[in-house]
Amino acid sequence: MLGAMEHLRIATVAEESADFRRVLWTGAHSQLVSMTIPPGGEIGEETHPDNDQILIFLSGVGEARIDGETQAVADGDLVCVPAGALHNFVNTGPNPLVLFTVYGPPDHSPGAVHHTKEEADEAEESGEDEPPA
């Protein structure tokens, strides 16, 4: 996890982490999370009623599905998801879809690491993956 004055090289983090979700930094009003979606995988359809989300794609190809519209995404793309929008991101390529997302306000437990989507889903269902109060 990053401290207030630390920095990271985005490409390096992406190359070194195959985790489905890894919380990199949590502040009072926002949170930085890296994600790696395996080929054929997806984030899963969801809505964040109180969180805006910005996603920056680093490698791979996929689809952004937001409120019934679908658009292709690839490295270098940025997608904004307003609070309350039904959304999903799907890997449509042969390689991992690697992205960073910024939540405002934070949406996950500080420092949370989920190696797979199943592990992430279990943590959310059990209440283990809760944002800071």
For the segment 100-122, what is each residue's pLDDT rounded down to a tens digit? 999 999 888 888 898 988 898 89
Rounded to two decimals, what is the model's pTM?
0.86
4 located within any domain: no
Q: Is residue 132 part of a domain?
A: no
Residue 113 domain-assigned (yes or no): yes
Distance CA(14)–CA(29), nearest Å, equals: 24
Structure tokens at 68: 């019934």
Output 125 or 74, whichever has higher pLDDT. Answer: 74
47 within domain boundaries: yes
Task: Assess if residue 41 is contained within a domain.
Answer: yes
105 within some domain: yes
Q: Which domain holds residue 122?
A: 10-126
List the CATH number of the domain containing 72.
2.60.120.10
Query: How many separate domains does the chain show?
Result: 1
pLDDT over 80 (residue 15): no
How far is the CA of 106 from the CAs of 21, 26, 44, in angstroms? 14, 7, 19
Q: 5 in a domain, yes or no?
A: no
- Residue-wise pLDDT tens digits, 16-60: 778 999 998 899 999 999 999 999 999 999 999 999 999 999 999
